[in-house]
């Protein structure tokens, strides 16, 4: 294994386009394992079980997945109507894997639009499948460009030597390169900014410890791992100049769904006067969702809290467990939302519209 995790593709297609290849992120940091997904069940499971996770990476995996499945469907169905029925069945199935990150539905809808347009343009099923492959590849390439641009805008908000706190993993492992919240950090690293990064461990699935601390330290970034309940202390100590987090869905009013615990970090940042920045590709902005109250929050199994990461169960048998995977940070707590088209500030109802309009 190449010891630098960031040299690997988070999500890719295999050489003959018959499967999706992902890093199995549930095995990190202990084991670097690439796995191949070729059935709808395998792709759905990989998303649900967080083998591939992070809003943009989920979108790319789903787009590649739908392309791989389309190739299989086209072997039996050469008539468009029959092909499209099965295509839609698989699209709906993949879309059901996780509800909060809008990028999943966004990428699948994009594949659907391209499919219908190609049919209207008179393309055969075989040609449509080729076009779907091109679109899926473009979604991935676009993600890389978008993250880089978010990094440039994010970098303009900080200065060399700054302390940066991040929550969960909105890093390269959550995207196809650079990450969103980590993009300013990676670009700053290339340019000698010498940031001091603090990574929340992010209970219960430890994306901060297992993934962010891992990928940043692999890239040579000065990163310190802290438990989730320590962010108040590091901010009070004056060690943090800015918080950068990613997001799974931005509502039209600027409310943001991101990994559970993000809203606590935002409230603490406000208390200590630390700017709180959300990094969001415009694909994550959902203008059809008016406020955070309308965002569906994924609930996950209690075992993730009670036993999953422990040698033995750490809670009494039968105890009630509340395990939402995400929370909503109110827009009042957000200093700015950094997109690939610029930095949106309050009033977000207007600034997000402008950023989104540049698509
Ligand atoms: O449950 P996860 O690991 O998919 O949650 C990931 C996050 O909350 C990320 O912050 C978000 O998806 C943005 S990734 C660029």
Ligand 1 centroid distance, CA of 246 (Å)? 7
- For residue 299, the cross-strand partners are 324
Report cis status (omega within 30 of 0) of the bond before 347: yes
Tokens of 287: 């203008």
pLDDT, tens digit, for every residue of 150-172? 999 999 999 999 999 999 999 99
pLDDT, tens digit, for every residue of 217-268? 999 999 999 999 999 999 999 999 999 999 999 999 999 999 999 999 999 9
What do you get for the CA distance between the two ends of the chain, in Å?
39
Q: What's the pTM? A: 0.97
**Top mutation candidate among 204, 246, 304, 337 for ligand 1, by most atoms within 8 Å of CB:** 246
Q: What are phi and psi of 162, to 5 degrees?
A: -65, 155
**Ligand 1: which atom is nearest the Cα of residue 259?**
8
Q: What are phi and psi of 198, to 5 degrees?
A: -115, 125
Among residues 34, 97, 26, 24, which one has the least CA distance to residue 66?
A: 97
Residue bearing tokens 């309308």: 294
User: pLDDT at position 6, please?
Assistant: 82
Tokens of 316: 């009494």
Q: Nearest-5° angle of CA 220, CA 222, CA 227?
A: 125
Label residue 3 by pLDDT band (50, 70, 90): low
1 vs 189, which has greater pLDDT? 189
200 in active site: no
Residue bearing tokens 């790319």: 60
**Active-site residue among 95, 162, 200, 248?**
248
Strand ranges across the sheet with 34-37: 11-13, 20-23, 34-37
Greatest CA span in the chain, whole angstroms?
66
- Residues having CB within 6 Å of any atom of ligand 1: 50, 53-56, 101, 168, 170, 174-175, 179-180, 207, 246-248, 258-259, 325
Tokens of 158: 């900080």
Contact 10, 176 (CB under 8 A): yes
Torsion of Cα atoms, 181 then 186 then 192 then 196, to 10°: 50
Q: Which of 35-49, 95-109, 136-150, 345-359 has the lowest mean pLDDT?
A: 345-359
Side-chain-facing half-sphere of 227: CA atoms under 13 Å: 2
């Amino acid at each position: 294994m190449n010891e630098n995790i960031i040299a690997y593709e988070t999500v890719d297609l295999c050489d003959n386009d018959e499967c999706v290849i992902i890093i199995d992120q549930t095995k990190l940091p202990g084991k670097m394992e690439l796995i191949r997904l070729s059935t709808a069940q395998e792709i759905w499971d990989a998303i649900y079980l967080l083998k591939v996770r992070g809003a943009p990476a989920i979108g790319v995996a789903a787009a590649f997945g739908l392309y791989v499945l389309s190739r299989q469907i086209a072997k039996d169905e050469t008539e468009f109507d029959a092909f499209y029925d099965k295509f839609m069945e698989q699209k709906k199935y993949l879309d059901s894997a996780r509800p909060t990150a809008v990028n999943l539905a966004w990428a699948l809808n994009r594949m659907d639009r391209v499919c219908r347009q190609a049919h209207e343009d008179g393309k055969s099923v075989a040609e449509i499948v080729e076009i779907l492959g091109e679109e899926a590849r473009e979604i991935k390439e676009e993600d890389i460009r978008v993250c880089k641009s978010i990094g440039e805008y994010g970098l303009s908000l900080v200065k060399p030597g700054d302390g940066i706190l991040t929550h969960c993993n909105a890093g390269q492992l959550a995207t196809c390169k650079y990450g969103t919240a980590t993009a300013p950090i990676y670009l700053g690293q290339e340019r000698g900014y010498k940031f001091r990064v603090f990574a929340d461990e992010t209970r219960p699935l430890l994306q901060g410890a297992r993934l962010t601390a891992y990928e940043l330290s692999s890239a040579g970034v000065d990163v310190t791992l802290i438990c989730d309940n320590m962010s108040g202390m590091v901010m009070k100590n004056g060690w943090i100049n800015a918080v950068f987090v990613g997001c799974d869905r931005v509502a039209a009013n600027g409310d943001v769904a991101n990994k559970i615990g993000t809203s606590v970090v935002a409230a603490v940042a406000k208390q200590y006067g630390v700017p709180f920045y959300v990094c969001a590709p415009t694909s994550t902005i959902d203008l059809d969702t008016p406020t955070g109250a309308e965002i569906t929050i994924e609930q996950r199994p209690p075992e993730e809290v009670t036993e999953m990461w422990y040698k033995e169960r750490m809670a009494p048998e039968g105890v009630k467990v509340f395990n939402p995977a995400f929370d909503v940070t109110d827009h009042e707590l957000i200093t700015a939302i950094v997109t690939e088209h610029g930095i949106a500030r309050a009033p977000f109802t207007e600034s997000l519209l402008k950023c989104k309009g540049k698509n």
